[in-house]
């Protein structure tokens, strides 16, 4: 091994570099990867750490993203700590193997730098790839900035490798607005980071020849149903483990993360539900509206996409004493439906006592900017809904769209 890689108290890193440092400190055994913008620097940096002796691992260059996750599955089944990164079309090519990884209960960590899906081709960030993978059986966490792009992968290894979980974990960050934006990051000392993650303990590894096992077995109607039900239960039962690991990380670093982050919700009359780097924009807009106009705006930001935190969303709504209207902001093309957040949050809100009005905005597709003024306009629109007692516009709209205003769902009164 080369001389120990030392870190200063504060670094200026972009999200990709921050993530690659987390993989280095976790001492990942194998990264199998195929590069794709904007996630390439993560695996490129890991390869340099291997080449320079900072990681006692293997960097495997393959011919496609499908092969990348296939290589990760093989390495994880053999008993190694494994990770990789991808985006967009590469993620789409990888989807078949995502189901294999979760079905085999292999705690791989996949860092997804979110980017729009073609066609037309676009390399900028939205959440189309994030939404594509939400039913693949992986735990999914979302980083809002570069610090979190460093912290959450460390937590992801500890969550996925927990003996009561043993599931793969995705950590998402927004393409370019997080992955390529330099921010202050406070990393842990190498030993502290590794000790937090812990030594990897393999389960049913193929290279244990004293106890032969089979991976990738076939089941038909006799056992397939039971297998998937058990897998689903493991995913749902991971919630307290996620909470515990995040609490342990707070105790170690002072940085607190929750499966659902809430801001200014105690007295909120209206709220935005939003993901990713847009959360910070929404918080700033809400603070300005409170100061300028006295408009009581709150923000609900799910950090854990799967298992979806229905209970915490419900509590965030019910615990707000005067919440009248919610807008769910979906950064993905809806494909002939309401946005994912709208559907998920609506199902949670249905079980609340308050049942606020809920509308849906599609925004930021292909990297279109989400400005503070636009966030404030949408928040004021929610106030109009609350004052009227019903949705005053179409339930689903597109934010920041050039040309004629498009509405897709008729207004309904409630």
pLDDT digits (tens, 9 = 90+) for 58-114: 999 999 999 999 999 999 999 999 999 999 999 999 999 999 999 999 999 999 999
Residues 56 and 191 in one domain: yes
Q: Supply the mean pLDDT for the chain.
A: 95
User: Within this chain, do residues 123 and 166 fall inside the same structural domain, yes or no?
Assistant: yes
Task: Give 45's pLDDT tier (boundaries 50, 70, 90).
Answer: very high
Q: Show the tokens assigned to 182.
A: 């330099």
Please say which residue of 253, 282, 316 terminates a domain: 253
Q: What is the pLDDT of residue 407?
A: 72
Does 274 reside within a domain?
A: yes
CATH number at residue 209: 3.40.50.970
DSSP-based three-state secondary structure for 174: strand
Does one domain contain both 383 and 351? yes
| Each residue's pLDDT tens digit, 399-410 | 999 987 777 777
Please tell me the predicted confidence (pLDDT) of residue 32. Answer: 98
Give buried/exposed letters for 60-98 (b at 16+ CB in 10 A, else e). bebeebbbbbbbbbbbbbbbbbbbbbbbbbbbbbbbebb
| pLDDT band at residue 8 using 50, 70 and 90 as cut-offs | low
From 212, 232, 253, give the residue that closes a domain.
Answer: 253
What three-state secondary structure class fits 86?
strand
- pTM (predicted TM-score): 0.96
Residue 215, both tokens:
């991976």
Question: Which tokens belong to 213?
Answer: 């096992």
**87 and 180 housed in the same domain:** yes
What average pLDDT does range 267-273 have in this prediction? Answer: 97
Domain carrying residue 343? 260-398
Residue that is last in its domain, among 253, 278, 309: 253
Q: List Cα–Cα distances, 76 to 43, 81, 106, 204, 269, in angstroms.
A: 17, 6, 6, 10, 48
248 shares its domain with 384: no
Phi, psi of 410 (to 5 degrees): -65, 150
Statement to judge: residues 307 and 238 lie in one domain? no
Half-sphere exposure of 135 (CA within 13 A, CB side): 3
CA distances from 233 to 96, 149, 324, 350, 352 (A): 21, 28, 34, 23, 24
Please check whether residue 1 lies inside any domain of the structure: no
More confident residue, 172 or 404: 172
Whether residues 178 and 114 share a domain: the answer is yes
231 and 349, same structural domain? no
CATH number of domain containing 320: 3.40.50.920
163 in any annotated domain: yes
Average pLDDT over residues 190-196: 97
Asked if residue 170 and residue 98 are part of one domain, the reply reads yes
pLDDT confidence of residue 69: 98
Q: What's the domain count of the chain? A: 2
Residue 411: is its pLDDT beyond 80?
no
Same domain for 245 and 198, yes or no, is yes
Looking at the chain, the whole-number percentage of residues with pLDDT higher than 90 is 92
Question: Which range (122-136, 168-182, 204-218, 301-315) has the least confidence?
Answer: 204-218
- Cis ω for the linkage preceding 408 (within 30 of 0): no
Q: Which tokens hold the place of 20? A: 């690659």
Q: What pLDDT digit, counting tens, does each position of 311-345 carry?
A: 999 999 999 889 999 999 999 999 999 999 999 99
Q: Is 80 exceeded by the pLDDT of residue 414?
A: no
Same domain? For 329 and 350 the reply is yes
Instruction: Please state the length of the chain.
Output: 414
């Amino acid at each position: 091994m080369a001389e120990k890689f030392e870190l200063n108290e504060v670094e200026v890193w972009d999200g990709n570099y921050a993530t690659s440092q987390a993989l280095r400190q976790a001492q990942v055994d194998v990264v199998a990867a195929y590069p794709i913008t904007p996630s390439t620097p993560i695996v490129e940096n890991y390869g340099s750490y291997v080449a320079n002796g900072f990681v006692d691992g293997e960097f495997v260059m393959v011919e496609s993203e499908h092969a990348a996750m296939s290589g990760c599955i093989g390495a994880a089944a053999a008993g190694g700590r494994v990770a990789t990164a991808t985006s967009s079309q590469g993620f789409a090519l990888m989807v078949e193997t995502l189901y294999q990884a979760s079905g085999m209960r292999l705690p791989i960590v996949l860092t997804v730098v979110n980017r729009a899906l073609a066609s037309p081709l676009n390399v900028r960030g939205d959440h189309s790839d994030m939404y594509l993978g939400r039913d693949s059986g992986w735990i999914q966490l979302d980083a809002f900035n570069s610090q979190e792009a460093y912290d959450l992968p460390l937590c992801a290894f500890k969550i996925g490798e927990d003996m009561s979980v043993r599931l793969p974990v995705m950590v998402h960050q927004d393409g370019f607005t997080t992955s390529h934006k330099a921010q202050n990051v406070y990393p842990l000392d190498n030993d502290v980071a590794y000790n937090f993650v812990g030594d990897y303990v393999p389960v049913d590894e193929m290279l244990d020849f004293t106890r032969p096992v089979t991976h990738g077995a076939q089941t038909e109607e006799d056992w397939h149903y039971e297998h998937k039900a058990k897998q689903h239960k493991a995913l749902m039962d991971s919630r307290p483990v996620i909470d515990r690991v995040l609490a342990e990380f707070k105790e170690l670093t002072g940085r607190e993360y929750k499966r659902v982050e809430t801001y200014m919700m105690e007295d909120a009359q209206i709220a935005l539900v939003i993901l990713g780097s847009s959360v910070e924009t929404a918080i700033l807009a809400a603070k300005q509206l409170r100061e300028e106009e006295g408009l009581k705006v709150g923000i609900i930001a799910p950090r854990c996409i799967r298992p979806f935190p229905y209970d915490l969303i419900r509590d965030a709504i019910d615990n707000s004493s005067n919440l009248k209207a919610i807008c769910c902001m979906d950064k993905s093309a809806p494909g002939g439906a309401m946005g994912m957040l709208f559907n998920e949050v609506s199902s949670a809100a249905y079980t609340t006592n308050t049942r606020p009005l809920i509308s849906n905005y599609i925004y930021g597709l292909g990297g279109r900017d989400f400005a503070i003024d636009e966030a404030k306009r949408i928040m004021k629109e929610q106030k109009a809904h609350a004052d009227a007692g019903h949705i005053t516009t179409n339930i689903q709209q597109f934010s920041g769209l050039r040309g004629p205003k498009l509405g897709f769902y008729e207004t309904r009164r409630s």
